């Protein structure tokens, strides 16, 4: 179960895979869930290997694989890293010709034919939600059976590519093992401490309490769109207890659901159970600005510390164009509520949405400063195959290239391949650099961060750790050759 080598601290599991400016480095959590599922179904000789976290080169990773000699390699991939990942698959195949190599992730799931054409070293793709597909594939390979009954599998048979029917989504997510157990078993304390989330207390672990999202933002490339399934409150709180008891060095849990508090009563039930069970761990989650005040207040009481929120823009036309289903007033009310309650917010803003102009981008930057969340991220519009935004860009002639290696800068930082006559890609990236400088270099913000570190020592470590990495990007910009402003 392989997160293959690529750029240092490259996060394939991020919604926008990249090397982050704040030092955030994601767990390969979907790969970890599938690892646990394999083990639960009786496959005991399984290794979860994060070559990026281990800082392994192609050669070092290949040496490990040659020593382990697997029959099956499940390899995670992403749009920006696809050519690197296929190149590494070629090296595995050259060294161990009998091994079956299967790719997973949103990119091959959405472009299975295109991906299979990249190399004959790719034997199959486990499309979509692959936890059970991987188990089925491993079982058939072990028993020497045909692959035609493995739902969700695209595979090569002789020189023909075959797409088996889609696999149904997992209905009962409580059946999956705790991913925190998988982290402990395969990474241990030393490995867990390699992961970092700039907005969270360190060390942290990332879990899912649900999969999918009931919303359909046009730019979002999350898997399982069109479905929303969730674990029972009791099952979620049981994992909190496990982490508190078995991983005592962990200081915070990140609930990486696409939007955690989407079902009010379920969220409140989880919070009440956390309070009843006297869980002391801090936790954070992704949320929307339409989360109501009383739920936010209960979340705070239950240990919630921070919310990651996509504001995107205050401009209603742009919000409507991407189906965000929020308003500027909701954004303002949400920030007022979180500040009153004492919840921190990591605010995300996208520059260059359909309907954006140079003037509205300036308004978004000013609005971000007015909202003044604890941290802010500014992205140029990035489009990924399979999303509505990608089709919009391609249809209008705004997509500069379909060479996926151009989805990032040479250092792995975010860039954009969308360039409009009135808003070039270079202008968008530079606008994001300007936004970061204006937001973070404000005396008000710097003074607030200083006081936060003094009054709340727990915040000091993550502030220093993220600032040391972030500051160099703040000065030099994202584009190669940019000079400090």
Residue 64 domain flag: yes
- Of 459 and 385, the structure prediction assigns the larger pLDDT to 385
- Look-up: residue for tokens 């160099």? 472
- Identify the pLDDT of residue 158: 86
Residues 268 and 153 in one domain: no
- Identify the pLDDT of residue 477: 58
The CATH number assigned to the domain holding 77 equals 3.40.50.2300
Residues 156 and 225 in one domain: no
Over range 60-85, report the average pLDDT.
98
Residues 145 and 124 in one domain: yes
- Identify the pLDDT of residue 485: 26
Over range 227-248, report the average pLDDT.
97
Q: Which among 286, 282, 334 is positioned nearest to 308, based on CA atoms?
A: 286
pLDDT at 469 over 80: no
Residue 263: C-alpha distances to residues 146, 268, 287, 328 (Å): 42, 9, 11, 22
- Identify the pLDDT of residue 222: 87
Provide the domain limits for residue 56.
2-128+130-163
Confidence of residue 106 (pLDDT cuts 50, 70, 90): very high
The pLDDT tens digits of the residues spanning 393-450 come to: 999 999 999 999 999 999 999 899 999 999 999 999 999 999 999 999 888 888 877 7
- Identify the pLDDT of residue 378: 95
pLDDT at 461 over 90: no
Residues 153 and 197 in one domain: no
Specify the 3-state DSSP secondary structure of 423.
strand
Residues 402 and 303 in one domain: yes
pLDDT at 480 over 60: no
Residue 473 domain flag: no
Boundary-marking domain end, from 163, 181, 207: 163
Over range 101-120, report the average pLDDT.
98
Residue 480 domain flag: no
Q: Which among 271, 167, 140 is positioned nearest to 224, based on CA atoms?
A: 167
Residue 344 domain flag: yes
Q: Which of 59-73, 315-329, 334-348, 456-470 has the lowest mean pLDDT?
A: 456-470
Residues 230 and 263 in one domain: yes
pLDDT at 309 over 70: yes
Per the structure, the count of domains in the chain is 2
pLDDT at 322 over 80: yes
Residues 107 and 213 in one domain: no
Over range 318-330, report the average pLDDT.
96
The predicted model scores a pTM of 0.94
Residue 416: C-alpha distances to residues 4, 300, 346, 399 (Å): 24, 36, 22, 9
Report the range out of 217-221, 362-366, 472-476 with the highest average pLDDT.
Answer: 362-366
Residues 56 and 197 in one domain: no
Residue 216 domain flag: yes
Contact 261, 236 (CB under 8 A): no
Q: For residue 75, what is the enclosing H or E element?
A: strand 72-76
Q: In 391-479, at which residue ranges do the beta strands (DSSP E only) sit? A: none
Residues 190 and 120 in one domain: no
- As a whole number, the mean pLDDT across the chain is 93
Over range 462-466, report the average pLDDT.
59
Residues 107 and 192 in one domain: no
Residue 478 domain flag: no
- Identify the pLDDT of residue 479: 56
Residues 145 and 193 in one domain: no
Specify the 3-state DSSP secondary structure of 376.
strand
Long-range CB pairs of 364-369 (<8 Å, 24+ gap) are 364/313, 364/314, 364/315, 364/435, 365/431, 365/434, 365/435, 365/438, 365/439, 367/311, 367/313, 367/314, 367/328, 368/311, 368/435, 368/439, 369/438, 369/439, 369/442
Over range 165-191, report the average pLDDT.
97
Residue 53 domain flag: yes
- Identify the pLDDT of residue 460: 64
Cβ burial 86-108 (10 Å sphere, 16+ → b, else e)? bebbbbbbeebeebbbbbbbbbb
Q: How far apart (Å, rounded) are the C-alpha atoms in residues 30 and 69?
A: 23
> What percent of the chain has a predicted confidence (pLDDT) above 90?
87
- Identify the pLDDT of residue 251: 96
Residues 213 and 347 in one domain: yes
Residue 465 domain flag: no
The CATH number assigned to the domain holding 326 equals 3.80.30.20
- Identify the pLDDT of residue 446: 82
The sign one gets for the Cα dihedral 426, 369, 359, 217 is: positive
Over range 146-162, report the average pLDDT.
96
161 strand-pairing partners? 156
């Amino acid at each position: 179960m392989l997160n293959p080598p690529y750029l240092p601290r490259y996060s394939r599991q991020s919604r926008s895979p990249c090397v982050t400016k704040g030092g955030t480095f994601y767990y390969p959590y979907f790969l970890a869930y599938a690892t646990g599922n394999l083990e639960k179904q009786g496959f005991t000789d399984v290794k979860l290997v994060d070559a990026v976290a281990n800082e392994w080169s192609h050669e070092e990773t290949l040496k490990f694989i040659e020593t382990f000699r697997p029959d099956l390699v499940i390899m995670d991939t992403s749009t920006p890293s696809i050519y690197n990942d296929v190149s590494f698959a070629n090296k595995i195949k050259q060294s161990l010709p009998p091994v079956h190599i299967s790719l997973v992730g949103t990119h091959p799931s959405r472009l299975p034919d295109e991906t299979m054409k990249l190399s004959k070293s790719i034997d199959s793709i486990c499309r979509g939600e692959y936890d059970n597909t991987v188990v089925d594939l491993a079982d058939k390979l072990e028993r020497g059976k045909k692959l035609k009954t493995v739902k969700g599998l695209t595979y090569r048979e002789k020189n023909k590519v075959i797409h088996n029917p889609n696999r149904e989504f997992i209905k009962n997510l409580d059946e999956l093992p705790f991913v925190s157990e998988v982290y402990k078993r395969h990474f241990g304390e030393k490995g867990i401490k390699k992961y970092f989330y700039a907005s969270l207390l360190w060390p942290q672990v990332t879990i899912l309490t649900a999969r999918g999202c009931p919303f359909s933002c046009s730019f979002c490339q999350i898997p399982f769109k069109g479905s929303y399934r969730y674990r029972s409150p009791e099952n979620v709180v049981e994992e909190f207890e496990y982490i508190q008891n078995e991983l005592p060095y962990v200081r915070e849990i990140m609930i990486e659901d696409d939007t955690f508090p989407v079902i009010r009563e379920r969220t409140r039930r989880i919070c009440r159970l956390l309070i009843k069970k006297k869980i002391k761990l801090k936790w954070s989650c992704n949320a929307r600005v339409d989360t109501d005040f009383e739920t936010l207040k209960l979340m705070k009481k239950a240990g919630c510390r921070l919310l990651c929120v996509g504001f995107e823009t205050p401009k209603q036309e742009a919000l409507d164009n991407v189906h965000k289903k929020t308003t500027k007033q909701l954004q303002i009310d949400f920030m007022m509520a979180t500040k009153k309650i004492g919840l921190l917010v990591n605010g995300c803003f996208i520059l260059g949405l359909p309907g954006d102009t140079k003037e509205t981008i300036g308004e978004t930057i000013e609005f971000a400063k007015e909202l003044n969340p604890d941290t802010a991220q500014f992205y140029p519009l990035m489009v990924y195959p399979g999303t509505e935004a990608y089709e919009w860009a391609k249809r209008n002639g705004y997509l500069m290239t379909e060479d996926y290696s151009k989805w990032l800068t040479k250092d792995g930082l975010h860039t954009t391949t969308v360039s409009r006559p009135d808003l070039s890609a270079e202008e968008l990236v530079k606008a994001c650099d300007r936004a970061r400088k204006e937001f973070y270099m404000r005396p008000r913000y710097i003074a607030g961060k200083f006081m936060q570190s003094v009054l709340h020592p727990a915040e000091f470590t993550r502030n220093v750790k993220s600032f040391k990495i972030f500051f160099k990007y703040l000065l030099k910009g994202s584009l190669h050759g940019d000079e400090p402003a």
